[in-house]
Amino acid sequence: MEVDEESKMEATTEPVIVVPMDVDAQTIQESADVAKTTKRKIQDDEDDFNADDLFKEDNNRSNVKLGGMAGEAIKSLDAGFSTLIKIFYQRVFPVTEFYKWLSYGNVQKNYFPNREISFAFENDVVVRHLSYADAAEFKTDLVKNSPAKIDIGPVYNMRPKDKKTVRNNAFHALERELVFDIDMTDYDDIRICCKGADICHKCWDFMTISIKIIDRAIREDFGFKHRIWVYSGRRGVHCWICDERARKLNAELRTAIVKHIEVIKGGEQMIKKVNLGFGPLHPTLVPAMRILEEYFPKTCLVNQDILGTQESWNKILKMTNDEDMRRELDELWLKHPKLTSKQKWEQLLDEYEKRKGRKIASAFRRDVMFQYLYPRLDDKVSTGVNHLLKSPFCVHPKTGRVCVPIIPEECESFDPLTVPTLQTLVEELNSGGPDGRPSVPPSFAPHLAHFKTFIKGMEDEIRASLRAKRVDEDKKLQF
């Protein structure tokens, strides 16, 4: 398989293999052995990867080239996954709605055919640059190959499957939805309830807060209307912003939007990652502050007990940049181990105000809330046009959970631990009843209904825009 000259691959982790688009199942199985000859750095359960970073150039252009995906996740599939996922694609996955979404009213006839789709298989195999003429062709291939994961890429200037018919520099991405990716592991320095890929109701608050803050910003600060929030199937959320002007944003403008939203800056070694100054908050951050103030007492002081241990309270005390106060409070709290985080927080603010004054103490309080609760974005996912992101309605291979949409206005009630699973959906399909087997599994129906509502809103606006253009054209002809 020929690879892009400009493409690069990092040289650590799980072995995976990228194969040509027209291979059969036997070739895929045989190719899995070849994957063991290389490794690629990609985190377990990574939901996205950069199209520009997928391949590694090889001098032997005829060889199958090695790429990357969440190899460890795919290896953990149980024996029944392959059978169940095929049933899921045959009878549950909303192919029609998927096509309607990514065709955007089919105003541009080549919009869906020029979209890159990627399949990841259970033997560490990734098939890149797939593309389909319509929904029927997509479903045929989907059911036939039954991938463990589907990723969605950008819209190119030609059909991705024909990329080898032109020079590399003649094949390029034109546009893609503006997306945001929030991953729970970015809060591991705060969470005490879970670590890594694990989640629970206590730490899910971080995702709820992120949805509330980012959703308001994209609507009110930038005027975007058509967005869909999606549970990643395990430990995070994705947001797809689908307005036409969002899809056409270049990398520079995407970066500007991310910087507008972003507040937390600095790596793991930086103690204080938020500095909003001592004056009034920027108007766009005032709504976020209200959300943080609402959640901070329960999420941080109770659920995550951020002042519960010497290690955790010293992280906050060091943010004061007052070594004398840090030492005094550290000694005080060691002598009184029964003090709660809420009591320690009140003591800290009182002492800080005595030493620095109300204005500086208030700014410190605000900065801590932002540092501990404000959304932590994966910049590269949002700013790069070439990133691939996991499709809505995929099934996570480790949890079996479906990547269902989240209604942002109801995100507080969303429970990631009770979303439909592959097993339960197939059981519902087979359960039957007085009226026979259901065409849509009952637990899946409300999520599909929300997706249809989202699509209808976009299509209604597209039709209204086309009608307005026709009226304008008619007026011009009359003159």
Q: What is the pLDDT of residues 416-435, one digit of tens each?
A: 999 999 999 999 998 865 56
Tell me the two tokens of residue 185: 């592991």
**Alpha carbon of residue 97 to chain centroid:** 20
Q: Residue 201 falls within a domain, yes or no? A: no
Pair 354, 426 in one domain: no
The predicted structure's pLDDT at residue 55: 32
Confidence of residue 52 (pLDDT cuts 50, 70, 90): very low
Quick: pLDDT tens for 40-50: 333 334 455 44
How far apart, in Å, are the Cα atoms of 128 and each of 5, 19, 281, 440?
15, 8, 45, 30
Pair 314, 425 in one domain: no
Q: Residue 305 falls within a domain, yes or no? A: yes
Count of Cβ atoms closer than 10 Å to residue 16 Cβ:
27
Confidence of residue 267 (pLDDT cuts 50, 70, 90): confident
Q: Residue 258 falls within a domain, yes or no? A: no
pTM of the model: 0.84
Pair 423, 314 in one domain: no
Distance in angstroms (rounded) separating the CA atoms of residues 59 and 62: 9
Query: What mean pLDDT is predicted for residues 144-155?
Result: 97
Pair 55, 87 in one domain: yes
Count helices and strands in the chain by DSSP H and E runs: 16, 11
Distance in angstroms (rounded) separating the CA atoms of residues 171 and 104: 22
Using DSSP's 3-state secondary structure scheme, residue 20 falls into coil
Pair 358, 438 in one domain: no
Q: Determine what percent of the chain is predicted with pLDDT higher than 70.
A: 81
Give burial (CB, 10 Å; 0-12/13-18/19+) of 187: buried
Q: Residue 233 falls within a domain, yes or no? A: no
Q: Residue 145 falls within a domain, yes or no? A: yes
Pair 360, 427 in one domain: no
3-state DSSP helix/strand/coil percent for the chain, to nearest 5? 50, 10, 40
Specify which residues 17 forms β-bridges with: 125
> Which residue numbers are catalytic?
116, 181, 183
Pair 335, 427 in one domain: no
Structural domain including 78 reads 17-180+378-398+418-444
Pair 37, 139 in one domain: yes
Q: Residue 351 falls within a domain, yes or no? A: yes
pLDDT exceeds cutoff 80 at 216 = yes
**What kind and span of H or E run contains 181?**
strand 178-183
Quick: pLDDT tens for 169-206: 899 999 999 999 999 999 999 999 999 999 999 999 99
Pair 148, 87 in one domain: yes
Q: Residue 86 falls within a domain, yes or no? A: yes
**Structural domains in the chain (count):** 2
> By C-alpha distance, which of 376, 384, 414, 388 is closest to 47?
388
Pair 363, 348 in one domain: yes
DSSP 300: I
Q: Which amino acid is at 51?
A: A
Pair 48, 112 in one domain: yes
The answer to whether the beta carbons of residues 205 and 382 sit under 8 Å apart is no
pLDDT exceeds cutoff 50 at 108 = yes
